[in-house]
Amino acid sequence: MKRFFSLLLASLFFVLTLCACSPNASTPSDDSQGVNPAKVIINEVMSDNENLTMGHALDWIELYYREEGTVDLSAYALTDDLSSPYAFPLTDRSIREGEYLTVVLPQDAPFHLSSEGETVYLTCQGKPISQLTFGASTDGESFSSEGVCEYPTPGYANNREGYLSYLEELQLPPLILSEVLASGDGYDWVEVKNNSTQPLNLSGYTLTDKRKEPARYQVPDVTLQQGEHFVVFCSGNSSLGKDHAPFKISSQGEKIYLAKDGAFTDVLILPTDLVKNESYGRFGKALRYFASPTPNAENGEGYENTVPAPVASVASGIYDAPVTVSLDGMGTVYYTLDGSRPTTQSAVYTEPITIDRTTTIRTFCTDGIRVADPAAYTYVIGPKHDLPVVTVSIPQESLTGEETGILNHIEQTFEYEAQLTLIEDGEEKFSIPFGFRLHGNDSRKGAKQNFQLRFRSEYGVGILKYPLFENRSFDEFNSLLLKGGSEDWANALLRDELATAVVDGTTALYAQGVKPVVLYLGGEYWGIYYLRERFSDDYVASHFDVSEDSVDLLYSSGGYAQSGSAADFTALKNYVKSHDMTTNEAYEYLTQRIDVTSLMDWYICRSYFGDRDVANIRRFRSSQGDGKWRWMFFDLDWSFYINESPVAWFLKNGGGDHVLINAVLQNPKGKDAFLKRYGELMNTILNEGYINQTLDSFVSAIQSEIPRDRERWGRTETQWNASVEKIRNYVKDGVRTQRVKADLQSYFSLSDVDMKLYFGE
């Protein structure tokens, strides 16, 4: 079914677009050889720009990249003929995570998109990596891989949210078509409005209902002040006056064009369902219906041509017995129970639905023309939980399918659309579509895997807005993690979360927020998990109130760029290797480039916790802040195990940044600051009392759920208790503190007087 909304976007707005460079058929230079193609896809195309959505009538192709980082597109090209794979090179372009890059095909492009439909390809080094086949355009539609889009949205997701974002960013032309009446008690009429901030003379403007005849009606030589209107009566008889056009407007749908000096400047496409005396036009940048037309005056708010989402008779929640749910919606109501997004090919609601296991009903309705926003209702059937409940509703094929099941193919980065619901304090807090994928490295191989939750506009919601973590001042997230204990899942189930909570807010380290929950995955009980923040440029932007573009975020001991660039960090390491760090000049330079306390805290806390799995290290900076590098603290599943783990090992070998910590320690000021900081942290958080207090809070939160979780994963509560006791033994009677002090005294050759100075003994 072709939805009405494919007709809704109807304006020649002046848009900032990424216009194509002068095309040529040359092969990219040798510098591009050896590129590993990124997962850039062709996301949307428009072959017959009837709506003038890009401010002109040219074809455009939209690319999308969902993975992390930025892709240099110098080795990429567009073509509609694989015998000419380099037809339209994308030289000097790049695309970053989550970006929709719109490429306009100018008049002299080597190919154009056929209005009859064809296939367009994205190539990398001459090989196709993405393609989109589209059909014939009958009314200026845009196309995605799923067919006709509801709205042409160049530069944005192909859904309602993308359309609204597109409208927000549009630049309206100086003179706009503001309101049209196609069927009334008198003449049809078209209203234009001076949308600029200056007086505007209308000479040179023309009005038409035929694209091939832009000058059917010459607008009179009048001047409109800012915000003023002029009404043209479409009587079909221009002899009636200068304000009468020689054409009428069809009540069955019509395109009205505004042109200046022969070039189209605006267009309004009227819907087919306008009733008598109902007008259509703009409220701000949005297109609305108006039950009370307002010629020569400002438009009211009007209404959008949508229908309400279906309403369920039973609220989402946790129930101890099966529930029977009725759906109430206008027109035909469609729904799914398997986690998939409903379409017009889904089941049609005809009678109440009995839910006897944990299930999410995903639904929408349509009256054949208007389409409701989707809705979801989640029912957890079974025993109550003390913890908040998270459900991930997803088709079983996406989880365990032989070819592409996420859980069966840990080496792949499969991502599938799913529905995420949080039920807390007995009520649903949010339920939104999102992207679901595996997370981690070695933890992927375990039975209880970790997952990424990616909120993308392509799924309908680009940002989750909810205050998930009590100790965070912000409530917007582009991505999250669901961690099930990681490599500690079979033991205490909380080592990483414990170590994180100890340092979070008490040190200069940046940690991931923690919220323990119960997870139901694909309708099945999956046990205790933790909602966690995910380290990304978005994390830095939220914590520092900076833009994501300003962030350099590096991962692993090698210091590779996850976002931004590693150049500054590499140069800094080279500096400390080539300079005498005992000098005050060199040390002061280092302190201007890094947050020294953050670096110290990473090595202090890591060495105290004894986790030698130090390759997974992240550091970041923002060019909008002070530009200093800071350290993130995570992947601590092996903490609180080996009490004999010496501090010296971490300083000599730990985390790939030991060249920096040792540069600090070579300087007398740096060494003194490091030892004082170690003593300070042992007196506040790195001690038996504080660690046990933090541990007790986690044990209290999850203990009631432990029996069921352990049974689900083939473990016992006795084993869990023993693992928790092992953590307590790690710090019991100050044993770890005494071992650390002895290590520090030996490594730095400290006297007893020094020890008393730094550690109070």
Q: Do 522 and 567 sit in the same domain of this protein? A: no
Average pLDDT over residues 313-338: 96
Cα–chain center distance at 173 = 31
Cα–Cα dist 486/418, whole Å: 22
Cα–Cα dist 76/162, whole Å: 26
Q: Do 557 and 514 sit in the same domain of this protein? A: no
Give the least confident one: 261-270, 386-395, 588-597: 261-270
Q: Do 165 and 184 sit in the same domain of this protein? A: no
Using CA atoms in the order 46, 61, 118, 33, what is the torsion angle rounded to 10 degrees? 180
Q: Is residue 58 part of a domain?
A: yes
Q: Do 225 and 284 sit in the same domain of this protein? A: yes
Q: Do 732 and 593 sit in the same domain of this protein? A: yes
Q: Which helix (H) or strand (E) holds 435?
A: strand 427-439
For residue range 490-500, what is the model confidence (pLDDT) as tens digits? 999 999 999 99
Cα–Cα dist 380/258, whole Å: 55
Pairing between strand 479-483 and 60-65?
A: unpaired
3-state secondary structure 543-594: HHCCCHHHEEEEECCCCEEEECCCHHHHHHHHHHHHCCCCCHHHHHHHHHHE
Give the C-alpha distances (Å, rounded to integers) separating 534 from 439, 450, 633, 640: 10, 12, 12, 23
Cα–Cα dist 162/595, whole Å: 39
Cα–chain center distance at 160 = 16
Residue ending a domain, choose from 125, 152, 169:
169
Q: Do 208 and 315 sit in the same domain of this protein? A: no
The answer, yes or no, to whether residue 399 has pLDDT greater than 70, is yes
The model's confidence at residue 263, banded by pLDDT at 50, 70 and 90, is: confident
Residue 337: which residues within 8 A CB-CB, separation 6 or more? 347, 353, 359, 360, 361
CATH of the domain at 265: 2.60.40
Q: Is residue 468 part of a domain?
A: yes
Per-chain mean pLDDT for the chain? 90
The larger pLDDT score, comparing residue 60 to residue 4, is at 60
Work out the percent of the chain whose per-residue pLDDT is above 90.
Answer: 74
pLDDT at 489: 95
Q: Do 119 and 140 sit in the same domain of this protein? A: yes
Q: Kindly report the backbone phi and psi dihedral angles of residue 437, in degrees, each rounded to the nearest multiple of 5, phi listed first.
A: -150, 165
Cα–Cα dist 390/530, whole Å: 10
Q: Is residue 541 part of a domain?
A: no
Q: Is residue 155 part of a domain?
A: yes
Cα–chain center distance at 670 = 40
Tokens of 207: 């009005």
pTM of this structure: 0.80
Contact criterion met (CB below 8 Å) for 344 and 364: no
Q: Is residue 136 part of a domain?
A: yes
Average pLDDT over residues 591-613: 96
Contact criterion met (CB below 8 Å) for 138 and 97: no
3-class SS shares of the chain: helix, strand, coil, % to 5: 25, 30, 45
Q: Do 566 and 463 sit in the same domain of this protein? A: no
Average pLDDT over residues 110-129: 94
Residue 658: which residues within 8 A CB-CB, separation 6 or more? 650, 651, 652
CATH of the domain at 590: 1.10.1070
Average pLDDT over residues 681-688: 97
Q: Is residue 399 part of a domain?
A: yes
pLDDT at 141: 84
Total domains present in the chain:
4
Write the DSSP assignment of 107-127 as a string of letters.
TT-S----TT--EEEEEETTE
Give the least confident one: 312-321, 419-428, 555-564: 555-564
Backbone φ/ψ region at 501: left (φ over 0), alpha (ψ -120 to 50), beta: alpha
3-state secondary structure 159-216: CHHHHHHHHHHCECCCEEEEEEECCCCCCEEEEEEECCCCCEECCCEEEECCCCCCCC
Average pLDDT over residues 356-383: 92
Q: Do 278 and 346 sit in the same domain of this protein? A: no
pLDDT at 97: 86
Instruction: Tell me how long the chain is.
Output: 761
Cα–Cα dist 159/152, whole Å: 9
Cα maximum dimension of the chain: 107
Q: Is residue 608 part of a domain?
A: yes
Cα–Cα dist 325/311, whole Å: 10
Average pLDDT over residues 158-168: 82
Q: Do 160 and 106 sit in the same domain of this protein? A: yes
Which residue in the block uniquely carries the two structure tokens 């365990």? Answer: 400
CA distance between the termini of the chain: 79
The amino acid occupying position 452 is: Q
The amino acid occupying position 608 is: Y
Contact criterion met (CB below 8 Å) for 334 and 364: yes
Give the C-alpha distances (Å, rounded to integers) separating 191 from 78, 236, 403: 41, 16, 57
Contact criterion met (CB below 8 Å) for 193 and 295: no
The answer, yes or no, to whether residue 1 has pLDDT greater than 60, is no
Q: Do 573 and 699 sit in the same domain of this protein? A: yes
Q: Do 516 and 436 sit in the same domain of this protein? A: yes
What range defines the domain where residue 416 resides?
311-533
Residue ending a domain, choose from 261, 290, 319:
290
pLDDT at 20: 34
Residue ending a domain, choose from 499, 533, 567:
533
Contact criterion met (CB below 8 Å) for 517 and 530: yes
Which residue in the block uniquely carries the two structure tokens 């998109």? Answer: 113
The answer, yes or no, to whether residue 7 has pLDDT greater than 70, is no
**How many CB atoms within 10 Å of residue 446?**
18
Write the DSSP assignment of 224-259 as a string of letters.
EPTT-EEEEEE-S-GGG-TTB-S----TT-EEEEEE
For residue range 215-241, what is the model confidence (pLDDT) as tens digits? 999 999 999 999 999 999 999 999 999
Give the least confident one: 334-343, 392-401, 581-590, 643-652: 643-652
CA angle 243, 246, 248 (to 5 degrees): 100
